[in-house]
Chain A
Amino acid sequence: MKVLAKALKYGDDINTDLIIAGKYTKTINKKELALHAMEDIDPDFTDKAKEGVFVVAGSNFGCGSSREQAPTALKEAGVLCIAAKSFARIFYRNAINIGLTLVECDTSSIADGDVLEYEVGSETVKNVTTGKKTRIVALPEIMVDILLAGGVVNYYREKQY
Chain B
Amino acid sequence: MNAKTIAEKVLSYHSGRDVSAGETVFCGIDLMMAHDANGPMAIKAFENMNGGKVFDPSKIVMIMDHACPAPYERAANLHMLMREFSRQQEVLLIECGEGVCHQLVMERGLVKPGDLVIGTDSHTCTYGAMGVFSTGVGATDMGVAFLTGRNWFKVPDTIRINLNGELKPHCSAKDVILYVIGRLGAKKANYKAIEFYGEYLERCTDADRMTIANMVVEMGAKTGFTCYSGLGIEAGKSASYCEVIDIDLEKITPGIAKPHTVDNYSPVSEIEGLAFNQAFIGSCTNGRIEDLRTAASILRGKRIADGVRLMVVPASKSIMMKAFEEEILTDLLNAGAVLFTPGCGACVGTHGGVPGDGEIVLSTANRNFKGRMGNNKAFIYLASPATVAVSALHGVITDPSCIDI
Does A65 count as interface, using CB distance less than 8 angstroms? yes
* Pick from A28, A64, A93: contact of B369, CB under 8 Å: A64
Interface of A is mostly: loop
What are the interface flags for A7-21 relative to B under an 8 Å C-beta threshold, 1 for contact and 0 otherwise? 000000101111001
**B147 contacts which chain A residues (CB < 8 A)?**
156
Does B238 count as interface, using CB distance less than 8 angstroms? no
Nearest A residue to B351 via CB reads A23
**B24 contacts which chain A residues (CB < 8 A)?**
140, 142
Give the interface size bracket for A toward B.
35 or more
Taking the closest CB of chain A, its distance from the CB of B358, in whole angstroms, is 15
How many pairs of A and B residues are in contact by the CB < 8 Å rule?
A: 132
* Pick from A71, A86, A93, A153: contact of B48, CB under 8 Å: A153
**A23 contacts which chain B residues (CB < 8 A)?**
349-350, 371, 374
| A157, B67: Cβ atoms closer than 8 Å | no
Within 8 A of A (CB), among B1-49: 24, 37-38, 40-41, 44-45, 48-49
* Pick from B138, B186, B187, B376: contact of A90, CB under 8 Å: B138
Does B122 count as interface, using CB distance less than 8 angstroms? yes
Q: How far is the CA of A152 from the CA of B151 in the complex (A)?
A: 11
What are the interface flags for B75-86 relative to A under an 8 Å C-beta threshold, 1 for contact and 0 otherwise? 100100100000
Q: How far is the CA of A40 from the CA of B369 in the complex (A)?
A: 11
Does A109 count as interface, using CB distance less than 8 angstroms? no
**B40 contacts which chain A residues (CB < 8 A)?**
28
Q: How far is the CA of A21 from the CA of B260 in the complex (A)?
A: 14
Which residues of A approach B to under 8 Å, CB–CB? 13, 15-18, 21-23, 25-28, 40, 59-60, 63-69, 71-72, 86, 88-90, 93-94, 97-98, 140, 142, 151-153, 156-157, 161
| A93, B138: Cβ atoms closer than 8 Å | yes
* Pick from A22, A151, A161: contact of B350, CB under 8 Å: A22
| A18, B369: Cβ atoms closer than 8 Å | yes
| B350, A21: Cβ atoms closer than 8 Å | no
Taking the closest CB of chain A, its distance from the CB of B66, in whole angstroms, is 8
Knowing A26-B74, A140-B24 are in contact, say whether A63-B186 is a contact too (CB < 8 A): yes
Does B258 count as interface, using CB distance less than 8 angstroms? no
| A89, B190: Cβ atoms closer than 8 Å | yes
* Pick from B44, B67, B152: contact of A28, CB under 8 Å: B44
| B349, A66: Cβ atoms closer than 8 Å | no
* Pick from B50, B120, B143, B369: contact of A17, CB under 8 Å: B369
| B140, A161: Cβ atoms closer than 8 Å | no
| B137, A66: Cβ atoms closer than 8 Å | yes
**A153 contacts which chain B residues (CB < 8 A)?**
45, 48-49, 140, 143
Nearest A residue to B147 via CB reads A156
| B49, A156: Cβ atoms closer than 8 Å | yes
8 closest Cβ pairs, A-B complex: A68-B138, A94-B138, A66-B136, A17-B369, A97-B140, A60-B187, A68-B139, A40-B376
Does B320 count as interface, using CB distance less than 8 angstroms? no
| B376, A22: Cβ atoms closer than 8 Å | no
Knowing A60-B187, A94-B138, A152-B144 are in contact, say whether A66-B220 is a contact too (CB < 8 A): no
Does B222 count as interface, using CB distance less than 8 angstroms? yes
Q: How far is the CA of A17 from the CA of B369 in the complex (A)?
A: 7
Among B41, B44, B124, chain A packs the most CB atoms within 10 A around the CB of: B41
Can you report 21 residue pairs joining A to B where beta carbons are below 8 Å apart? A13-B261, A15-B369, A23-B371, A26-B66, A26-B72, A28-B81, A63-B186, A65-B367, A66-B120, A66-B122, A66-B138, A67-B37, A88-B187, A88-B220, A90-B122, A94-B138, A94-B140, A140-B24, A142-B152, A152-B140, A156-B144
| B41, A68: Cβ atoms closer than 8 Å | yes
| A64, B74: Cβ atoms closer than 8 Å | no
Q: How far is the CA of A27 from the CA of B144 in the complex (A)?
A: 20
Knowing A23-B349, A89-B190, A93-B141 are in contact, say whether A17-B220 is a contact too (CB < 8 A): no
Nearest A residue to B368 via CB reads A17
Taking the closest CB of chain A, its distance from the CB of B284, in whole angstroms, is 13
Does B121 count as interface, using CB distance less than 8 angstroms? yes
